[in-house]
Amino acid sequence: QSALTQPASVSGSPGQSITISCTGSNSNIGAYPLVSWYQKHPGEAPKLILFEGSRRPSGVSDRFSGSKSGNTASLTISGLQTDDEADYYCCSYAGSSAFLIFGGGTKLIVL
């Protein structure tokens, strides 16, 4: 299976909201409610921010939310903060053969 499709970059100003899309297919996002999102700052390990589409791990701000429509999952970050500037990756279960596939990543720029 091919990688999930994400925009290369999105930008927003502090306080604004942005949405990052993640488009897959009927073999992954469209078939399973098992999308997770990861935040990665330069030089740091990735961090889980959403799992099973819209669930937040303990300690993750409620400014991060997730949704899904058909073959596309979305991550919305409200009340943008400068520390939100990072790379964001979606990941979906893709069945027992491919198991997990990631998106290409989206660089969030906070202006």
Question: Residues interacting with other proteins, by CB under 8 A?
Answer: 3, 34, 36, 38, 44-48, 51-52, 57, 89, 91, 93, 96, 98-105
Residue 5 or 78: which CB sits closer to other proteins? 5
Q: Tell me the CA end-to-end span of the chain in Å, nearest whole number.
A: 35
Give the integer Cα–Cα distance in Å for 65 and 12. 16
Size (the chain), residues: 111
**Closest separation in Å from C-beta 99 to other proteins:** 4
CB nearer to other proteins: pick between 85 and 87: 87
